[in-house]
Amino acid sequence: MSEIKYEILKTIGVLSKSASGWAKELNLISWNDREPKYDLRDWSADHTKMGKGVTLSAEELSALKALLNTSEV
């Protein structure tokens, strides 16, 4: 399997941190030199390891924001 290349362009925020130092973060990331996307996933403290996550385009993130704003969470 080929290596995944990524560059965290902007950290939007941290949603939570675990006792082990991993953090669930929302970042703007370029994966494999492609157009940046918004990315929500767990990261190790030094950002060398990552958990499974979800990537969203700007349009999808806006739609999620609108959905959450109208939701009674």
Distance CA 41, CA 22 (A): 10
Half-sphere exposure of 48 (CA within 13 A, CB side): 1
d(Cα 55, Cα 36) in Å, to the nearest integer? 10
**27 φ, ψ (degrees, to nearest 5):** -130, 160
pTM, to two decimals: 0.89
pLDDT tens per residue, range 23-72 = 999 999 999 999 999 999 999 999 999 999 999 999 999 999 999 999 98
1 compared with 56, residue with greater pLDDT? 56
Instruction: Name the strands in the sheet holding 6-17, side by side, starting at the edge strand that comes first in the sequence.
Output: 6-17, 23-31, 37-43, 50-56
Going along the chain from its start, the domains and CATH numbers come out as: 6-70 (2.30.31.70)
